[in-house]
């Protein structure tokens, strides 16, 4: 078995994404990246400014110590009382360390745990760097003071408490407002996309709610300018399909209508031939010809009924308030004699059930349901036709105790020319297809289930009730029901 390659540029089903997802991706992701970049840049600028400020404050003690470095007997010494040295180390948050030493590392004053400074004298005679003192990270300001016997290095270090605290405050101060802005922006983008795509969703719902044979033009008045060419193209396609289906429907109706007359004449001639003396073999052949003619005439009538039920085969102004009970009573005179010929018990349990419908199509619907029940119910079986109300709905049902329809076949039987595998009889497979078309034409619903004791078939059609003020049956409506044989 060979696989069909997808056309170039076509996205595979696994990779296909909705327009909403693509818009969110192209709007939200760049927006988020810009916000993150802006936040990081603001944080870097603020942190750099804070670092410069704290470094200047850290350099002040080093400059103060440099003013008290003197030379005695050719050697540099720190001329600063111990109390004053302790004052330099006072801080509310951090621990302060300092040292005064030669370039060779000889300590003149301060703490011996101070790290060794860089060996080269930097330009400007001062440097700032990070180091470790007593297992703590510190920021160090080193000042190189020129002396006759070589420069003296003054180092002042402090721990990172204030700096880390300021870093957190800057981070929170910069991040929280940006996150709030980002969140509000994403929410606004989300609602903006939903609102912008609402016409497309409305168009999708309108198409999804239509039946496969509803080819009316789409209303593109609410669609955005960019979508209107698509709606116009779809309407052109629907128009072409409608024209093709109308031509097919007219052909079917005309062909069925033209077949009825010659078939009726042929059936009459066969009936006359059967009354003439003939051999037994000839009579059997004529009887088979009569059966085939009857089936062909029945098929032509079914095709005519199907063309009437299809969209375009009936006019919307043919809908009138009608009682389902009266339709069932009219059908009794036609189908009770047919049921008696097969020794079937055809009963009617009728209650008033007003709806708005096409009387001719309703009769076609009921005729097909009863005919199917008679055709597939064995002799001495039972068929019951009911009309009733369920809330505001008018309900028509036909129940039999025949072989029934398997649950996995109950959707398929509404297809044209479909027959349940292994079913008896010589049906054309159009009866329930006609029922489905009539149900669609009235906006009704049809369900197939099992009859009493899970035997046979129960077909139920639910129609919408009539508008207020038309719920009463006509004054000349008959009594509560018609009994079967």
How many distinct structural domains can be found in the chain? 2
Q: Is residue 356 part of a domain?
A: yes
Tell me if 362 is assigned to some domain: yes
196 occurs within a structural domain: no
Whether residues 239 and 363 share a domain: the answer is: no
Per-residue tokens: 124: 């400007």
Range of the domain at 262: 229-309
Q: pLDDT below 70 — which residues of the chain?
A: 1-17, 119, 121, 123-124, 211-213, 248-249, 251-260, 298, 309-317, 422, 424-427, 467-485
Task: Specify whether 327 is located in the same domain as 374.
Answer: yes
| Domain-located, residue 384 | yes
User: Based on the domain organization, do 367 and 401 belong to the same domain?
Assistant: yes
Q: Which of 317, 338, 306, 321 is nearest to 436 (CA)?
A: 306
Same domain? 347 vs 303: no
313-325 residues labelled b (16+ CB within 10 A) or e (exposed): bbeeeebebbbbb
Q: Within this chain, do residues 332 and 445 fall inside the same structural domain, yes or no?
A: yes
SS3 223: coil
Strands 382-390 and 345-350: parallel
What gap in Å lies between CA 306 and CA 438, rounded to an integer? 9
345 in the same domain as 376? yes
Is 103 within a domain?
Answer: no
Task: Say which residue the tokens 């200047």 belong to.
Answer: 56
pLDDT at 212: 65
E strands of 297-440, at which residues? 320-323, 345-350, 354-357, 382-390, 393-400
Q: Within a domain: residue 185?
A: no
Res 14: pLDDT = 47
168-171 long-range CB contacts below 8 Å, 24 or more apart?
Answer: 170/43, 170/46, 170/47, 170/50, 171/43
Q: What is the pLDDT of residues 319-337, one digit of tens each?
A: 889 999 999 998 888 889 9
Instruction: Answer with the one of 282, 309, 336 that is the final residue of a domain.
Output: 309
Q: Strand, coil or helix: what is 357?
A: strand
Kindly state whether residue 19 falls inside one of the protein's structural domains.
Answer: no
Clarify whether residues 322 and 458 are in a common domain: yes
Query: Is the Cβ–Cβ distance between 141 and 62 less than 8 Å?
Result: yes
Task: List beta partners, residue 96.
Answer: 158
The pLDDT of residue 312 is: 59
Are 239 and 275 members of one domain? Answer: yes
**Domain of 236: which CATH number?**
1.10.287.130
What is the per-residue DSSP string for 421-483?
A: TT--S---S-HHHHHHHHHHHTT-EEEEE--GGG-SEEEEEEEPPPPTT--SPPTT---S---
Please indicate, yes or no, whether residues 407 and 426 belong to a single structural domain of this protein: yes
Are 250 and 351 in a shared domain?
A: no
Indicate yes or no: pTM above 0.85.
no
Domain end, chosen from 251, 274, 309, is at 309
* Contacts (Cβ under 8 Å, ≥6 apart) of 460: 395, 396, 397, 446, 447, 448, 449
Task: Quickly tell me which residue has 């609102």 as its tokens.
Answer: 195
Whether 292 and 366 share a structural domain: no
Residue 369 lies in a domain: yes
* CA nearest to 479, candidates 323, 352, 347: 352
Euclidean distance between CA atoms 267 and 264, whole angstroms:
5
pLDDT 10s digits, 147-182: 877 788 889 999 988 888 888 888 788 778 878 888
Last residue of a domain, one of 262, 294, 309: 309
Q: How far apart are CA 211 and CA 204, in angstroms?
A: 13
Q: Look up the CATH number of the domain holding residue 439.
A: 3.30.565.10
pLDDT for the residue numbered 409: 87
Specify whether 438 is located in the same domain as 323.
Answer: yes
């Amino acid at each position: 078995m060979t696989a069909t390659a997808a056309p170039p540029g076509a996205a595979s089903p696994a990779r296909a994404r909705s327009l909403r997802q693509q818009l969110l991706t192209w709007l939200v992701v760049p927006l988020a990246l810009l916000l993150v970049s802006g936040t990081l840049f603001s944080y870097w600028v603020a942190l750099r400014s804070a670092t410069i400020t704290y470094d200047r404050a850290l350099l002040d003690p080093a400059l103060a110590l440099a003013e008290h470095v003197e030379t005695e007997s050719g050697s540099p010494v720190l001329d600063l009382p111990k109390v004053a040295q302790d004052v330099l180390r006072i801080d509310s948050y951090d621990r302060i360390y300092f040292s005064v030493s030669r370039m060779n590392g000889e300590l003149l004053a301060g703490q011996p745990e101070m790290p060794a400074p860089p060996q080269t004298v930097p330009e400007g005679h001062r440097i700032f760097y990070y180091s470790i003192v007593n297992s703590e990270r510190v920021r160090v300001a080193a000042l190189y003071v020129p002396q006759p016997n070589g420069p003296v290095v003054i180092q002042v270090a402090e721990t990172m408490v204030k700096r880390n605290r300021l870093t957190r405050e800057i981070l929170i101060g910069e991040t929280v407002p940006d996150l709030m802005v980002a969140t509000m922006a994403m929410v606004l983008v989300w609602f903006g996309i939903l609102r912008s795509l609402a016409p497309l969703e409305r168009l999708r719902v309108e198409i999804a709610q239509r039946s496969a044979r509803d080819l009316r033009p789409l209303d593109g008045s609410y669609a955005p300018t960019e979508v209107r060419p698509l709606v116009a193209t779809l309407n052109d396609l629907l128009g072409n399909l409608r024209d093709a289906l109308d031509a097919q429907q007219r052909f079917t109706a005309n062909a069925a209508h033209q077949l009825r007359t010659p078939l009726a004449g042929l059936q009459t001639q066969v009936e006359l031939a059967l009354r003439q003396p003939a051999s037994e073999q000839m009579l059997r052949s004529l009887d088979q010809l009569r059966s085939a003619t009857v089936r062909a005439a029945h098929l032509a009538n079914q095709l005519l009924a199907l063309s009437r039920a299809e969209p375009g085969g009936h006019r919307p102004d043919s809908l009138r308030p009608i009682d389902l009970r009266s339709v069932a009573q009219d059908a009794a005179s036609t189908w009770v004699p047919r049921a008696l010929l097969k020794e079937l018990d055809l009963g009617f349990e009728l209650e008033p059930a007003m709806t708005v419908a096409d009387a001719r199509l309703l009769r076609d619907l009921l005729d097909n349901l009863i005919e199917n029940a008679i055709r597939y119910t064995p002799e001495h079986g039972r068929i019951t036709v009911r009309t009733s109300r369920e809330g505001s709905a008018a309900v028509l049902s036909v129940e039999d105790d025949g072989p029934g329809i398997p649950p996995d076949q109950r959707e398929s039987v509404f297809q044209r020319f479909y027959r349940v595998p292994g079913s008896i009889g010589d049906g054309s497979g159009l009866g329930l297809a006609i029922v489905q078309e009539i149900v669609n034409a009235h906006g009704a619903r049809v369900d197939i289930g099992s009859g009493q004791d899970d035997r046979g078939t129960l077909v139920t059609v639910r129609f919408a009730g009539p508008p207020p003020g038309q719920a009463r049956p006509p004054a000349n409506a008959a009594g509560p029901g018609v009994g079967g044989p």
